[in-house]
Chains A and B, each alone.
Chain A
Amino acid sequence: MLIQKGKALALVGNHAVAYAVKQAKPQVLAVFPITPQTTMLEKLSEYIDNGELKAELIKVESEHSAMAAIFGAALTGSRVFTATASQGLLYMTEMIYWVGGQRVPLVAAVATRAIASPWSIWDDHQDFVSKRDAIWVQMMGENVQDAYDITLMSFRISEDPRVMMPVMMGFDGFILTHTMERVEVLPDSVVDEFLPPREFKLVDFDNPLGIGAVATPDNYARYRKKAMEAMERAKMAIKEVMAKFEEITGRKQYGLTECYMCEDADYLVVGMGAWVGDMRVAVSRLRERGKKVGLLKVKVFRPFPREEVREALKSRKGVVVFDRAYSFGSGGVLSLEVKANAYGLTTPVHTIVAGLGGKDVRPRDIEGTLEDLIEGKLEEERWLA
């Protein structure tokens, strides 16, 4: 297919995701308001109200019910969507596992936000990473364009016959949800071709099934093993969907990870989400000063890109992972993943815990950390708090 340039629009992140969702043509949505996702819900309501999106929006009384409602609708044959953040994601958790366990193709957006208590409406990743074991594909956007792109790709990845799994699209609360950026949107016709109508229905009167029934220990273990295998297959499927997307948009998608100025880098900074943009700035500035640093962006958190991360870590003098989420009593969540995949390598991996509850982090903070790393002055774990 030839690249078809769409329109360029000025959109805040929430509206960019809503626009992508509208183009994906879900038939059923169920969303419950929570900051900083709310304006996405409002935009979707508008689309449905004015007929731009022919779908039912179930106005549920809670997030638990939002996930339950789209679970039921997806089983019955509809493309579906929901979105939430923070406490909402926690409240949904039981159903998130239920949906993952049943391997139901659907898409949820998470406008990442800190978890109470104390209350905080600002961004970190504690909510998003807490769902890492729920059998969901999880991807993080770096900017508003990325959020739009990932949303569209999520539907296709989720419905890929090799995957058949829910997909969670994360993007940083306020930093992306409420920031206006230039977004290139695809023409509807191109999206229609990229996302043909969904073929999946378990509620079928001619072939009745019991869905989610009690499983014997043997069956249960077998289902879980199949989920593990599907997660591994998902890596291939995600890369293919990204390649296809690159083909129709001309926008570089890289893959599960992206390496920036990595080739000859002695030192790497690793990150996920919006602050990767700041890391790019920091790395560029240090390069101008002749420091051999690079950036590894983790775009797909589940399945974790083990091979790519390990490859990127090889023969570096030092690596620092920036974490916006912490596993108390253990370590930075992304760091733990990175360290696990550095097993047997000589590369030291350091952790910076920062940006919790929206605490400001600037490119110069990242620069300073990298300088300390280069000078051998960085502890194994440092909190910017």
Chain B
Amino acid sequence: MFLRGNAACPGCPIPKELDALLEVTGKKTVLVVPASCTSVILGDTQGGQPATIPVIHSAFAAAPAIASGVASSLRMRGEEDATVVVWAGDGGTGDIGFASLSGAAERNENILYVCYDNEAYMNTGIQRSGLTPYGAWTTTTPSGKREFKKPLPLIIAEHRVPYVATASIAYLNDYQSKVRKAKGKKGFRYIHLLSPCPPGWRFDAGLTVEIAKLAVETGIWPLYEIENGEFRLTSASKVLVDKSKRKPVEAYLRYQGRFSKMTPEEVKALQDYVDKMWEELREMAKK
């Protein structure tokens, strides 16, 4: 609907994720896109730009600051009904752009920030990021990553912004309703979207949605929102506080070549990590 044809890999969820977002935010959306796969997807295709809304391409670390300027300028233009969206990968969000992201969140800029998390630097050919999960193969972690994933949505929530949510392309209604909620609010809003990447995660291009679903079902990717500080599990994640309702993480790892070298001990370490995270989520849900 908003994308006219693009340069994404087969099975890449990004075009669909963007379309679903823009379906909600509408024609009066400005997209700010730092260096990433999306820069290529929304790049210079034959016959002009693929998007039907204004897109500002951005240096890697600059998107939240550019969006701050756009938001200020729109305010001066009296067009506060427009939505300024940063659309950035996990590297642009959690690593190089982290300072400008934190700055924009702290200033409570009127921006909707969406991190589509494919859990590595895909544009430059699958190198680890601060959001690559434990155990995952990348070209810079040939025998698997030794550190755990940076808990970005919670770090952003600590900035006391009006809205933070996680989402998955496998739960489209949940994702779009979160975008709708975010659009209805002023100030800094953050959505963290798990975005499976067939070549980067080494799975069959037909399995994208399946993998996104398993991430939720195994509890490795909890769906929640934090609205004005209030934490709430959403959609399929609501029942997963009960460990018996969660599939073992192994069910998620199995289909992805990037986890194929993990030892049983490493799988257990990841399972323990997920279980512990759910204990914390339970506490948060109680408050």
How long is the Cα–Cα vector from A205 to B82 in the complex, in angstroms?
A: 9
Shortest Cβ gap from B123 to chain A (Å): 11
Q: When A and B form their complex, what is the total count of cross-chain residue pairs whose Cβ atoms lie within 8 Å?
A: 156
Q: Give the CA-CA distance A70 to B74 in the complex, in Å.
A: 12
Asked if residues B69 and A69 are in contact (CB atoms below 8 Å), the reply is yes
A116: interface (CB < 8 Å): no
Check if B287 is an interface residue, CB within 8 A of chain A: no
Instruction: Name which residue of chain B comes closest to A70, CB basis.
Output: B69
CB < 8 Å: which of B39, B56, B62 contacts A203?
B56
Residue of B28, B48, B64 with most chain A CB atoms under a 10 A cut-off: B64
State A125–B31 Cα separation when bound (angstroms).
38
**When chains A and B are docked, how far (Å) is the Cα of A203 from the Cα of B30?**
8
Minimum distance in angstroms from B116 CB to a CB of chain A: 18
* A61 pairs with B44, CB closer than 8 A: no
Q: By the criterion CB–CB under 8 Å, are A212 and B54 in contact? A: no
If A65-B62, A211-B57 touch, whether A74 touches B27 (CB-CB below 8 Å) is no
For the complex, give the distance between the alpha carbons of A299 and B68 in Å: 34
Interface size of B by CB at 8 A reads 44
Q: Chain B contacts of A62 at CB under 8 A?
A: 99-100, 103
A72–B52 touching, CB < 8 Å: no
From known contacts A62-B100, A72-B67, A203-B54, infer whether A209 and B73 are also in contact, taking CB-CB under 8 Å.
no
Among A28, A59, A64, A210, the one with the most B-chain Cβ atoms within 10 Å of its Cβ is: A210
Select from chain A the residue with minimum beta-carbon distance to B53: A208
Chain B nearest CB from A53 CB (Å) reads 12
B43: nearest chain-A partner, CB-CB: A214
Q: How far is the CA of A55 from the CA of B75 in the complex (A)?
A: 10
Give the distance in Å from the alpha carbon of A212 to the alpha carbon of B62 in the complex. Answer: 13
B251 interface residue per 8 A CB criterion: no
A214 touches B56 (CB 8 A): no
Contact B67 A76 (CB under 8 A): no
Assuming the contacts A61-B100, A62-B100, asked whether A72 and B76 have C-beta atoms less than 8 A apart, the reply is: no
* CB-based nearest B residue for A202: B54
Interface status of A213 (Cβ within 8 A of chain B): yes
Cβ B72 vs Cβ A68 within 8 A: no
B59 and A28 contacting across the interface, CB-CB below 8 Å: no
Name B124-160 residues within 8 Å CB distance of A. none
Q: Is B58 an interface residue (CB 8 A)?
A: yes
A30 interface hit (Cβ, 8 Å): yes
Q: Is the CB of B69 within 8 A of A76?
A: yes
Known contacts A75-B56, A77-B76, A78-B69; 13 additional CB pairs below 8 A are: A27-B72, A27-B73, A59-B107, A65-B65, A65-B100, A65-B103, A68-B100, A69-B72, A71-B66, A74-B73, A209-B54, A209-B55, A213-B43
Q: List 5 A-B contacts (CB under 8 A).
A: A30-B69, A75-B70, A80-B69, A210-B54, A213-B49
User: CB within 8 Å of B: which residues of A?
Assistant: 27-28, 30, 55-56, 58-62, 64-66, 68-78, 80, 94-95, 98, 202-205, 208-216, 219
Residues of B within 8 A of A (CB): 27-28, 30, 32, 39-40, 42-44, 48-59, 61-70, 72-77, 82, 99-100, 102-103, 106-107
- 5 shortest interchain CB distances as A-B pairs: A72-B69, A210-B49, A61-B103, A76-B73, A65-B65
